[in-house]
Chain A
Amino acid sequence: MASARKSRGESLLLRYLVLGTWALVCLLPILWFLSIGFRPRTEVITPQPIFWPTFSLDAWHLLMSDWPIAMYLRNSVIAVAGSVVIDLILAIPAAYALARYDFKGREDIGFYILSTRMMAPAIVAVPIFFLFKTLGLLDSVWALMLIYAAINLSLVTWIIRSYMLDIPKELEDAARTDGASDLRILWEIIIPACLPGIITAAVIAAIFAINEFLFTLLIASTANAYTMSVALANFTGGSDGIIYNAIALVSFIAFVPILILVILIQKHLSRGLTMGAVKG
């Protein structure tokens, strides 16, 4: 008994050691970034190793005074949040219809919707550019909102649909005999029952939207519509050369919202991704 407990304790220790090492390997680049971001510019680029780094807010002050970061963040938030709202408004009824109503070509429509996601985005880049140009929507966050919504709509629909398929049919039958209309059933029974799926889909869509680069670069040409993802790529630090500590800090700022989103849904994330993709 005692020896069994001891070996159990040892294996637990070993497990934490292995996991801890792996976590350190994964987290090291992030810590490195942070340390670069909060050190003086010159210290970051000296070739000599430095054992006792100096703390400095130089890069932070530079960013705050020189770079419209608030604008970029605002653009990101508006475009991403707006696109997720549009996605949910469109995807929830679509997913419900695909999950429950029996109509001709249901499976084909379902697959067609998903297949729009399989295409390489670059293929439609040029037509989209001209489309938005004609519509007078270039260089606007509203255009980005529409694009993000369009890109993620199929995936969001598919994920929510797969959660809806898991809801017992009896629940809807019960609501119907209780006197509820279809919209009531959707609103009061289905949506609450697949709320975890809806949240998961929303967060996944938000992460994809935050990271979207190609179309953002195409549509946004000034700080008017730049989001963090494009601004970050264009950022070199300023007029006098590449400023590494500022770049590191900007990267970290761009990384934080995604980290928060992932932590929020990590429990559902793998289920959402695999189910949405695999379950037909």
Chain B
Amino acid sequence: MASIHLQNIVKRYGGFVGVQNMSLEIADEEFLVLLGPSGCGKTTTMRMIAGLEVPTDGKIMIGGEVMNDVDARDRDVAMVFQGYALYPNMSIYENIRFPLRMRGVPASEHDARIRQAAEMVELGAYLDRKPAALSGGQRQRAALARAVVRQPQVFLMDEPLSNLDAKLRQSMRVQIKHMQRQLKVTTVYVTHDQIEAMTLADRIVIMNKGAIQQVGTPDEIYSDPANTFVAGFIGSPPMNLIEGTAQGGRFNAPGVSAPCPSNVQGKVTLGIRPEDCRIGGDNVQGLVYGVEPTGDTTYLTVLAGTKKIEVKAARDYRSDIDVSIGITFDPARLYFFGQDGERIRGVA
């Protein structure tokens, strides 16, 4: 068990900056999720923690010890790869056993530990098979068992569920979270799927273009986004971001008018989540663009000027298109962002 400290980590590939000046403290036993679009440097960060990639600059500490010059094989870190990376020529049993053999765990302990790890991921019946004879979900669980069996200080998981179908993903998600709570191992989990991040994380780190955008609990990230990137990335559908002008405590955009704090002035962006909009009223005057019933809710798209605004409506809400409609914003749930995209915090 160990905490992880990243201190001003930089990773450059030639002139290209993969990760820029990243500092992060990960507490012991914490489940931390790195979330961001593809190519934002999540895998690179994780590989630097694992020791598979050397940072260009900065310091990596695990359990209080500087790890920069420690080889991957000597860090007590287990990694689950996106492609599973099971050894194709070995049975599942031998796959799970490999880290025990490599780390000199006494042979007498192997069998019990392998079976225990396999039981934990419900793979006990498949130990004799080769990876090729397993389904995607089973391979995923075999890769998990191989990471678990070592009882490492840190788990690293790089998009472990991205190759699975939606249903399996949900059940594996719960299984991973349960396992992490049970074993109490510090875990860094990489994903580009915000649902995975929200459901799994103690804290989420949102990254974009190699830089941290915001660090916080899922609640903080959702209800207190630091900038337009975070606001637009989290939530499905994500927050509406409407560009307009603020003057004298009033925000205006084509078809949109809402109150704003007096310190919000000039060209700004208003953010409002679909579930904080109600049908009726006059914050938005527009036309119904489309209605999407999903079963438990209905999403309504309203065209205000040229801007499409998403509204979460009652499950039985139905409407024809091109009907004029008014929308009210919950005044306590309005967010304003400056021209640089950063949040303008109200003096209210």
Interface residues of A (CB under 8 A from B): 168, 170-171, 173-181, 184, 188-189, 192-193, 195
Contact = CB atoms under 8 A, between A and B. Distances in A.
Contacts of A189: 87
B83 A178 contact: no
A174 B96 CA distance: 12
B81 A175 contact: no
Contacts, number: 64
Given A177-B52, A179-B102, A171 B73 contact: no
A168 B89 CA distance: 14
Interface string B73-108: 111011101110101110000000011001100000
Given A168-B85, A192-B89, A179 B73 contact: yes
B102 A178 contact: yes
B176 interface: no
Contact of B146 (A168, A173, A178): A178
A177 B72 CA distance: 5
Q: Counting chain A CB atoms within 10 Å of each CB, which of B75, B79, B81, B85 scores highest?
A: B85
22 contacts: A170-B81, A170-B82, A170-B85, A171-B85, A171-B87, A173-B50, A173-B72, A174-B87, A175-B102, A177-B72, A177-B75, A177-B77, A178-B99, A178-B102, A179-B74, A179-B102, A180-B73, A180-B102, A189-B87, A193-B87, A193-B88, A193-B89
A179 B99 contact: yes
A180 B104 CA distance: 11
A200 to B, nearest CB: 17
B103 A179 contact: yes
B73 A176 contact: yes
A176 B72 contact: yes
Nearest to B156: A177
Contacts of B72: 173, 176-177
Interface of B: 47, 50-52, 71-75, 77-79, 81-83, 85, 87-89, 98-99, 102-103, 146, 150
A178 B156 CA distance: 12
What 9 pairs between A and B have smallest CB-CB spacing?
A179-B102, A192-B89, A174-B85, A178-B99, A170-B85, A179-B103, A176-B72, A179-B73, A177-B79
B52 A176 contact: yes
A41 B81 CA distance: 70
A181 B81 contact: no
Contact of A174 (B75, B81, B103, B150): B81
A215 B71 CA distance: 48
A273 to B, nearest CB: 24
Contacts of A178: 73, 78, 98-99, 102-103, 146, 150
A184 B81 contact: no
A47 B195 CA distance: 89
B73 A181 contact: yes
Nearest to B94: A188
A241 to B, nearest CB: 58
Contacts of B79: 173-174, 177
Contacts of B89: 192-193, 195
Contacts of A168: 83, 85
Nearest to A192: B89
Given A175-B87, A178-B146, 4 more contacts: A168-B83, A170-B81, A177-B52, A179-B74
A75 to B, nearest CB: 36
A177 B83 contact: no
Given A179-B99, A179-B102, A189-B87, A173 B81 contact: yes
Nearest to A180: B102
A170 to B, nearest CB: 4
Contacts of A173: 47, 50, 52, 72, 79, 81, 85
B276 to A, nearest CB: 43
A175 B102 CA distance: 9
A191 B144 CA distance: 25
A179 B152 CA distance: 11
Contacts of B71: 176
Contacts of A179: 73-74, 99, 102-103
A276 B47 CA distance: 32
A193 B47 CA distance: 23
A179 B150 CA distance: 10
A175 B52 CA distance: 11
Q: Counting chain B CB atoms within 10 Å of each CB, which of A168, A178, A188, A195 scores highest?
A: A178
A174 B79 CA distance: 7
B77 to A, nearest CB: 6
Q: Counting chain A CB atoms within 10 Å of each CB, which of B50, B71, B83, B87 scores highest?
A: B87
Nearest to B81: A170
A171 B81 CA distance: 9
Contacts of B88: 171, 192-193
Contacts of B98: 175, 178, 180, 188
Nearest to A170: B85
A184 B102 contact: yes
A190 B317 CA distance: 60
Q: Counting chain B CB atoms within 10 Å of each CB, which of A168, A170, A181, A193 scores highest?
A: A170
Given A178-B102, A179-B103, A170 B73 contact: no
A177 B87 contact: no
